[in-house]
Structure 1
Amino acid sequence: MLLRIDMRPARWFSVGSAHGLDADAGTRAVGEALARDDPKLLIVFCSQSHDLPTLLAAIRRSAPDVPLIGCTTAGEIATTGPSEASVVVTALGGDGFAVDTCVATEASRDLRGAGAHVSRCMPVRADLPYKVLVVLSDGLAGDQQEIVRGAYSVLGASVPLVGGCAGDDLRMARTHQLYGDQVLTDAVVAAGIASDAPFGIGVRHGWRRVGEPMLVTSSAGNRVHTLDDQPALDVYLKHLGAEEPAVRDQEWLARLALTHPLGLGHPSGEDQVRFISGGDFEARSLSCIAEIPQGALAWIMEGDAASVLDATDAACGDSLAALGGRRPLGMIAFDCIARRGVLGDDGIRTEIDRIAAVTPGAPIAGFYTYGEIARTHGLRGFHNQTLVVLSVG
C-alpha cells in the first residue's frame, strides 16, 4: 500500500517584481511570485505607464484561473525596495486561505453602495476564522470614506478592512483598477480573505500641526470652498508663503500639497490627515481625497524624515503585535505618496529596509497611494498621508 503524504504548506505568501515597461514584465513578475502550487489570489501593483491590457494579458496567460485584483500606483514597493515603472505581483496560496473577489464599477455614482457591494465577497469557513477585506479603489472618484461606511454597513465591526487608493504617477487625471482580465477605471475591487492564522494591521502617519488653526467655513463633501471665510486656495497658499506659477495645473498643486496636507482635529487626540489632490483655480477652492466637514478646525501639517520613519516603525510594530508572536508570512504596505515626498529617494529605500528588518526573510509588497484604508474597529477607516501595513500571519 502506497501512503501519500501531502507536504504542501497550509499557507504561503510570495512576491515577484519586474522593472521596465516591456511586454514581458508581467510574465517575469508573476513567474517569480508563483513559486508554489495552489495559488488562491494574485494582487498586482503596477505603473500607469504600462500598456495595461498587454501587461494584464501576460499575467493571465501564466495564471488564467487565479482570482486577481490590482491597481495602478504612484510607485511600487517590493522586497528589493521601492521602484517606478515596474510591476509587483503578490501571490497567496495553500489550503489555509480561502478567497472571494468582487468589483463595483461606476463607483463615483454611489461610493457607499460600491463599498457595500464589494464587502459581500467574504468567504464563510468555520475552519478559517481569521478574516480581512483588501480594498483597492479609484482615489479620484470622490469621498473615499463613503466606501468604508458602505463596507461597515455589511460587515460591521467584525472584519477589518485594509487597502489603498490607486495612483497615476501624480498626474491626478485617471487611475486604473484591475479585476480578473479587466482593466477598469472609476471602480472598487476587493478580495475577501479567510485564513487559519491571524492578520495584523498597523496605521501611523508622522505628521504634526503647524501654525494656527483655520475654521472650515464652507465645504461640501471633499471640496473646501472657504477657510476663515476666505477662498480656501488663497488661504492655503498664504499659509505656505507660496506663489502661483504662470502656468497652473492640478499636478503643480498636488506636488506642492504633498508635504503640506490638511489636518483635522479628532476626539481621539490623533489628527486625521487629508491629502489635497487639486483645486479649482477659478473658484479658488481645494479638493481632497476625503470629506472635510464644514465647521471643523483644520491645520497645515508638516513632517520630516525622522517623524515619518518613526511612524513606519510604529506601524510595523502595531501590525506584528496583532499576530500574537507568530512570524509573518509576508507584509503588504500601503504608503501615501506624500510620505515619499518627505523622505526622498534615499529615505524611501531606508523605509523599506526598516520594514524588512522587522520581518527578516518575509517578502514585502505594496505601492504608493492616493489614500489608505485601515479599519480595525469602529466606523472610521479612511486615511491620508499615512502608512498602513498588513501582516499576513
Structure 2
Amino acid sequence: MVLKFLTVHSLAQNSSLAAQDICARLRRYTEQAPSLLLVYFTQAHDGAILREELKRQFPVTRLLGCSSCGGVMTEMGHHARQGYGLAVAALYDERGAYGIAGARGEHVDVRQLLRRAMSDCGRPGELPQLILLHTSPGQEEGLLAGIEAELGASVPVVGGSAADNGVSGEWQLCWDDEVSSDGIVLAVLYPECQLAFQFHSGYVPAEHSGEITACSGREVLTIDHQPAAEVYARWCGRDHPWSAGAILRETTLTPLARQVGMLDGIPYYKLSHPEAVTEQGGLRLFTDVVQGERLLLMYSSQEGLLQRSLNAIRIEPTYGVDAELQPIGALIIFCAGCRLALGEMLCQFVEQSQARLGKIPFITPFTFGEQGRLPHGELAHGNLMVSSVIFLTS
C-alpha cells in the first residue's frame, strides 16, 4: 500500500470530546489504524487526556504530540475557537517503520532516546530517513549536539519547541506513554517514500551589526561593550530602550541573527528572537549565544515574511529530489512569532501553499523555536524560522 498522509482537526472545547472527534473523522477514511499520529494542540487542551483517548482507540499506533501557540493550521485553514484547537496528521504506511521515545527533565540522554526509538520500531542501529524532534524551550542546542554525536551529519532533523499562548511555561509534550511540560520527545521515521526538506527564515540583513562582548547562556549583556538593550533599541530606531520586561511581540519583524555560512556566494543566517529586556539592560533570547559572536539586525515586512516563509515548501530537484515524484503531504513547523506578525495574512499561507504544492494535506504547529539542517548540513536551532518535510511518492 502506498503511504497515505491525512489531516483532521477538531474545535471541540473539551479534550476528551476533541480526541473522540479526531478518531471518528479518521475512521471515515479507513478502519485501518494509523502507523503514526502527529498531534498538535493549544494550551487549553489537556495533553494527557488527548493522549489517553487517542491511544485507547488506536493502541498500536505510535503517537507524538506538542502544544502550539494560538491554534494549529492545516490545508483547511487555521483552527482555534475560544482558545481550543486540535489537529492531527495520520500516516498510514504498512511497509514503513516509526519509532517514538520521550523523557522528562532537563538532563536527558538524547543518544539513549535515539537508540530506544530505533529499537521501538525494529530498526536498531539503522539510520532513519528523518528525526522529528519536539522539546520544551531551553535545551535545544545541547540536544542537537547529542543527535549529531550519535548519528553524524547525514540524517535530516525537523523540529519545533513546544509553545503556549504567552511564554508562561504552559506548553506540553506527549507521547505513547507519558505527558510532560519539561522534556523531549522524538520520532525516527523510515517511511516508504522520499522526503524533501527545507529550513528557512523570512528575513534579510539590515545595516547594523556588533560583537557580543558579554553574555550568559541566552542573555546578551553587552554588544560592543555597551548595554545590549540600548544598542538593540538604537538599531531599531528607537529614541530610548524598552523597559525591563517582555518585548517578544514588538521585536518580531526586527530579530537578531548570526551568519552561519555561504551558499552560492550568498550568506545564510541562524535567527534569534529577543524575548525580553532584563533588569541589567541585557537582552534575553530564545537561543544560546557565545561571547565573540557577531550579531546582525534582520528585518522583514508582513508581505516579505509571507513570501520568504513559502520558500520552505518548495521542492528542489537540485537537492536530489526526483522530478517525477509527487507530494502527498507535509509537516510545516512555523514560528509562533512569525504567525503573530502575519496576523490576518496567515490565511494567505494556505492559499499560496496550495498554488505551489497542490491541494495536499499538511499540518502546521506554531512553535517557540525551530530546528533543522542549514544548507551545508549544519544542525541548528533558530527562531522565526520555518522547518519542513514534504512526503513524496511516484
CA distance in structure 2 between the partners assigned to 1:356 and 1:181 by the alignment = 36
Which residue does the alignment assign to 1:57?
Answer: 52
Structure 1 SS opposite 2:260: coil
Determine the structure 1 residue equivalent to 2:302.
305
Q: Distance in 1 between matches of 2:53 and 2:310?
A: 36
| Letter of the structure 1 residue corresponding to residue 25 of structure 2 | E
Question: In 2, distance between residues paired with 1:180 and 1:60?
Answer: 7
Q: Tell me, which stretches of 5 or more residues in structure 2 are unaligned?
A: none
Q: Is residue 319–residue 389 contact of structure 1 (8 Å, CA) maintained in 2?
A: no
1:228 match = 224
Q: Distance in 2 between matches of 1:199 and 1:124?
A: 21
**Number of residues paired by the alignment?**
373
How far apart, in 2, do the equivalents of 1:211 and 1:47 lie?
38
Query: Residue 186 of structure 1: which of 178, 182, 185 is its match?
Result: 182
Question: Aligned pair in 2 of structure 1 residues 95, 379: CA closer, same or farther (>3 Å)?
Answer: same
Partner of 2:129: 131
Matched, 1:32 2:25: yes
| Map of 1:76 onto structure 2 | 72
Q: Distance in 2 between matches of 1:259 and 1:118?
A: 36
Aligned to 1:43: 38
TM-score (norm 2): 0.87
- Alpha-carbon deviation of 1:135? 0.6
CA, structure 1 residues 245+279, in 2 after alignment: closer, same or farther (shift >3 Å)? closer
SS in structure 1 of the partner of residue 337 of structure 2: helix
Amino acid at match of 2:38: I
The 8 Å contact of residues 199 and 391 in structure 1, kept in 2 or not, is answered as: yes
Q: 1:259 aligns with which of 224, 235, 253?
A: 253
Alignment partners' CA distance in 1, 2:159 and 2:142: 14
CA distance in 2, matches of 1:243, 1:52: 42
Counterpart selection for 1:350 from 337, 348, 351? 348
TM-fit CA distance, 1:169: 1.3
How much does 1:243 deviate?
A: 5.8
Residues 94/265 of structure 1: CA separation in 2 closer, same or farther (3 Å cut)? closer
Query: Quick check: 1:170–1:254 contact (8 Å CA) kept in 2?
Result: no
Change (3 A) 1:157 1:171: closer
Q: Which moved more, 1:198-207 or 1:301-310?
A: 301-310
1:369 to 367, 370, 375: 367
Distance 1:381 1:342 in 2: 23
Q: CA deviation at 1:159?
A: 1.6
Per-residue deviation, 1:72: 0.6
Instruction: Sort the Cα spacing of 1:21 and 1:235 in 2 relative to 1 into closer, same or farther, 3 A.
Output: farther
In structure 2, what residue type is equivalent to 1:196? Answer: E
Whether the aligned pair in 2 keeps the contact of 1:30 and 1:89 (CA below 8 Å) is no
State whether residues 45 and 71 of structure 1, in contact with CA within 8 Å, keep that contact through their aligned partners in structure 2.
yes
Distance 1:242 1:273, change over 3 A: farther
How far residue 129 of structure 1 moved from its aligned partner, in angstroms, is 8.5
Q: Secondary structure, in 3 states, of the residue corresponding to 1:271?
A: strand
**SS state at 2:36 partner:** strand
Partners of 2:208 and 2:235 within 8 A in 1: no
Alignment partner, residue 12 of structure 1: 4
2 CA distance for matches of 1:40 and 1:294?
45
Alignment of 1:1-393 (within 5 A): 9-23=1-15, 24-34=17-27, 35-36=29-30, 37-74=32-69, 75-84=71-80, 85-106=84-105, 108-109=106-107, 113-114=109-110, 116-120=111-115, 121-122=117-118, 131-139=129-137, 141-142=138-139, 144-240=140-236, 241=238, 249-250=245-246, 253-268=247-262, 269-280=267-278, 282-318=279-315, 323-325=321-323, 326-345=325-344, 347-375=345-373, 378-393=377-392
User: 1:186 Cα shift?
Assistant: 1.4
Q: Write the distance in 1 (CA, Å) between the matches of 2:193 and 2:134.
A: 23
Aligned AA (1:296) = E
Structure 2 letter corresponding to 1:131:
Q
**Structure 1 residue runs without a partner (length 5+):** 1-8
Q: CA RMSD in A?
A: 2.5
- In the alignment, what sits opposite 1:6? none
Per the TM alignment, residue 206 of structure 1 is displaced from its structure 2 partner at its CA by 1.9
